[in-house]
Every structure is written in C-alpha cells, then in structure tokens.
Amino acid sequence: MTDWLDDLWLEPGPPYLAMGTRALKLDHWLVVDDDRDFYLAQKAALLQSDLPSVFAATPGSEDAGAEVLAEVQAWLSDRGVEIAAPSGDAHPLIEAARLVQEDLAVMQKIEGEWVLTAGAVCFPTHWCIADKVGSSLAGVHGPVAHYENELSAKVDRLHDRLRVDRPVWRRNWVVAPTSRLDLIERGGLANAGTPNVGLVIEPDGSPMWIRSERQTLRRLPNTDAIVFTILVQRTPLGVLLERPDVAQRMLSVTDSWDAEKRMYASTGGALRQLNDWLAKVARVG
C-alpha cells in the first residue's frame, strides 16, 4: 500500500526541513499490517547476529524501557494482536522492539537536556544507534543538513511541550538505490552523497526506491520519558508513473536543494539522474 505518499512533505526549500508534526490518536500509535511477520523476522535476525549495531542503552534507562514495553504490550493486547513470549533479554526495550514493526528510541531529560538513553534501531537510514546513544538531541541530529539552523530549536521545544495525552506523528522521506530495510552505517551519511557513476535509473524507476519513516513521539506518564517510534516504509520509485502529480512535487523539492542538502541526500549519487527521471514522468502526466 502506498497511501502514505500523500502524507509526504513536498515543499521546495529553503527552508529544507520542517517539523510537519500532526496530532496522533492513540489508536493509531503503532502499525500492524500484512508485513508484520517479515519485519519481526528481520529484527529477530539482526538482534541475534549484530546486537551491538542495533541496540544500545545507558545505565538508568531500564525503567523507561520497561514502561515502553508495558505500553506496547497493552496496545497490542487491546487490539487482539498475538504477543510473543519474553525472550529473556536484559533490557526491556529489546523485548518491546521484538513485538512491533517499528524501531524504538527513548529520550529522557537529564540535566536540562533531552538525551537519547536507549534505542533498538534495526532499520536506520545510514546511521547506527551505537554512535548516537548518550547524545543530546543536537548531537543525535548533528549530521543532518540544515538541522541546527532550521529545526534544532523547534525540536527542543516540541520535546519540552509534548503532553502525555497528545502524541504526535510526522514523516520524512528519501530516494535510495536499494529496498533494504537495514541501512546501518557507522559514522553517519559519510558516503550517501558520493557519486555513483555506475548507477543508471531505468525508465521503470529501478533500482531506486522511495523510503519513508513514519515517526511518532509519545510522552510516558510514569517516567516522563519520550518514546520515539520509527516505521520504515518503502515502495519502488516506479509507482510515480501512476502519480505524476507526486513526481512533479518531488522534483520541485529535489531541484531546490543546495550543495549541503545534496551531499546529505541518500540518492547514491544519482540526484541528477533522479531529477531527469522525475521531470520526464511529470511531463508525461
């Protein structure tokens, strides 16, 4: 399903970043769809084979992790979703992550700053939780192009003002030359913008995929931590052959990027080819 294409923020810059948060009903906190078994199997394999790359936590995050686990179990149970037996993992956030398609991260306010204290992140887009845990919001988002000037203060205020009874959600998106869920990369987006001279975008859009993260933020009532959920959804770029309107809006965005944003983009160095392809689809439509 690609209904989420209509949720994408597609406005040319500058500014290049926007909060784009919307009110979230608790009934829609998590997603349970036909891909659940596949996502959970992928997670289980990564947690088994490469735990240091997909999970990290600071001492003292266990109580917040336990509250996330309890909320996840209650939400799934209320909707009749089968819950696997506990695996015996030491940190409750791992147990919670095994139950949902989403990746999970916990933010806690420590000495006046929101700090990433725990994360079970199996499907990051060119980063690694081991590089981020223990960092402030500014540190977590440091590599993001234009974050400091355009979004940092707004994100800090959002965390400060988020209410237990008013969770929010948002989306981001990239176009990448792969359908893989796990794009774990230590050290951030070091190579994402590097030219890939061998990459050619075919008329059907292959090998490019639109990759979007459905993100939610929910404040927990007992520990006052904030749980950040990330659901990666992707679809072949070729779906835009049936949506030239979206292709035109996406082109208006990618064509507006400055050098900093282009270097950060996850297009595998194929931005010029991507823009040419989008332009053709938009004209045909």
List the beta strands (DSSP E) in 42-157.
Answer: 55-57, 103-110, 113-120, 125-127
What phi, psi does 40 have (nearest 5°)? -65, -35
SS3 23: strand
| Residue 220 identity | L
* Residue position matching structure tokens 């266990």: 62
pLDDT given at position 49: 96
Does residue 84 carry a pLDDT above 90? no
The two structure tokens encoding residue 219: 């404040």
pLDDT given at position 118: 98
Q: Any idea where the domains of the chain sit in the sequence?
A: 3-187+213-235
- Residues 217-222, mean pLDDT to the nearest whole number: 98
pLDDT given at position 213: 98
Q: What is the pLDDT of residues 133-178, one digit of tens each?
A: 999 999 999 999 999 999 999 999 999 999 999 999 999 999 999 9
| Residue 89 identity | D
Does residue 187 carry a pLDDT above 70? no
Q: How confident is the model at residue 191 (pLDDT cuts 50, 70, 90)?
A: very low
The two structure tokens encoding residue 65: 């992790």
CB 69 within 8 A of CB 63: no
pLDDT given at position 188: 53
